Amino acid sequence: MLGILIQQTFNALTIGAIYALIALGYTMVYGVLRMINFAHGEMFMLGAYAAFLALTLFVGDIGGVGALALTLVFAVAVVGVGLVGVGIERLAYRPLRNSNRLAPMLSSLGVSLSLVTGVQIMAGPQPVAFPSFFPATRIGILGGTVTLVQIGILVAAFVLMAALYVLVNRSRAGIIVRAVSENRSTAQLLGINVNLAISLVFFFGPLLGAAGGILYASYYGIMTPTMGAVVGLKAFTAAILGGIGSIPGAMLGAFILAFVEVAGTALLPVLSGGLLGTEYRDVLAFVILILVLLVRPAGILGEPVSEESMVYKREF
């Protein structure tokens, strides 16, 4: 029993860490632009494909590759996707910054669709086997089996999140981004380079999303051009659950969602007497999403929308 519990806890932590990496991108973009970036799930997908490309270009065969080479491949891929993110913002979102709220969201839908079909055309629509970045060693902990892959993912994800935390809270770049999130027009009046802040967000958000994609693909050993949609949606749910716009909230929301999902998947068939199987796992996430929005739309760590901003806020 304890063994299963430990094993499931690690499963949830692994998935949660990946959700968290993606959710951070949603929440940061929402923070500075107040828009839902539907193309963010595609950054996750691009990450996996970029890593695969980098792997075949630079390394060739995965067997016998050292950790250093893999880290390099990882870095090249995520930075590459980060740059793609900056480029997309420049081309598809920046011209719309002063239009209505619907326009950038529609544009991001277009970007999302173009990226999925673009990858489909270039790499084929079929799933591609993805090499594991970590050796397939199993470790027994108190009767439960935990794979090295899981531990590797957890370590990588936490290193990245810690790096982001330091970046946001300790660096000048972080101050700029936080200022713009707080109040864009005031930040502009104070001489802060708003465009720089937005570009930074659109670099680091996709970068983390891409990292999530690589870890996800190497966890499940597979990648498809459409993998971004559902995982992106779940990560967005996590961001709302934690409180959209809040960075710690996104992480918290991701882990809560992952635990609920893992527990739900294990318990649903038992509780419903076999009527609802594990295939309803995805439904669970959306039910949570709707419930959170009903009960506490601001999320766990989000600030409730004040009456003033409601009064002077234009809905699209």
What does the alpha-carbon distance between residue 128 and residue 29 come to, in Å, rounded to a whole number? 30
What does the alpha-carbon distance between residue 157 and residue 19 come to, in Å, rounded to a whole number? 10
Q: Which two tokens stand for residue 120?
A: 């489909």
Q: Does residue number 256 form part of the binding site for other proteins (CB under 8 A)?
A: no
What does the alpha-carbon distance between residue 140 and residue 169 come to, in Å, rounded to a whole number? 37
- Shortest Å, Cβ 120 to other proteins: 7
User: Which of 2, 171, 263, 286 touches other proteins (CB under 8 A)?
Assistant: 286
User: Which of 105, 128, 151, 194 touches other proteins (CB under 8 A)?
Assistant: 105
CA 279 to chain centre: 22
The residue type at 20: A
Please choose, out of 159-167, 177-185, 259-267, 286-294, the segment that lies near other proteins by the rule CB under 8 A: 286-294
Please choose, out of 151-159, 164-172, 182-190, 308-316, the segment that lies near other proteins by the rule CB under 8 A: 308-316
Contact 257, 237 (CB under 8 A): yes
How big is the chain by its Cα radius of gyration, in Å? 20
Q: Does residue number 294 form part of the binding site for other proteins (CB under 8 A)?
A: yes
Would you say 111 or 214 has its CB closer to other proteins? 111
Q: Does residue number 237 form part of the binding site for other proteins (CB under 8 A)?
A: yes
Would you say 2 or 230 has its CB closer to other proteins? 230
User: Which of 8, 114, 145, 199 touches other proteins (CB under 8 A)?
Assistant: 114
Would you say 72 or 287 has its CB closer to other proteins? 287
DSSP assignments along 195-209, one per residue: HHHHHHHHHHHHHHH
User: Which of 140, 143, 297, 304 touches other proteins (CB under 8 A)?
Assistant: 297
User: Count residues contacting other proteins (CB under 8 A)?
Assistant: 56
User: Which of 118, 135, 140, 221 touches other proteins (CB under 8 A)?
Assistant: 118
Element (H, E) at 303: none
User: Which of 106, 163, 196, 271 touches other proteins (CB under 8 A)?
Assistant: 106
CA 120 to chain centre: 21
User: Which of 61, 63, 66, 307 touches other proteins (CB under 8 A)?
Assistant: 307
Q: Is 254 exposed, middle or buried (0-12, 13-18, 19+ CB in 10 A)?
A: buried
Nearest to 213 by CA among 160, 290, 289, 140: 160
Phi, psi at 261, each rounded to 5°:
-65, -45
Q: Does residue number 290 form part of the binding site for other proteins (CB under 8 A)?
A: yes
Cα diameter, the chain: 62
Q: Does residue number 280 form part of the binding site for other proteins (CB under 8 A)?
A: yes
User: Which of 56, 71, 117, 137 touches other proteins (CB under 8 A)?
Assistant: 117
What does the alpha-carbon distance between residue 235 and residue 165 come to, in Å, rounded to a whole number? 18
Residue numbers at the binding site for other proteins (CB under 8 A): 34-36, 38, 91-92, 95-96, 99-103, 105-107, 109-114, 117-118, 120-121, 229-230, 233, 236-237, 240, 277, 279-280, 282-283, 285-287, 289-290, 293-294, 297, 305-308, 310-316
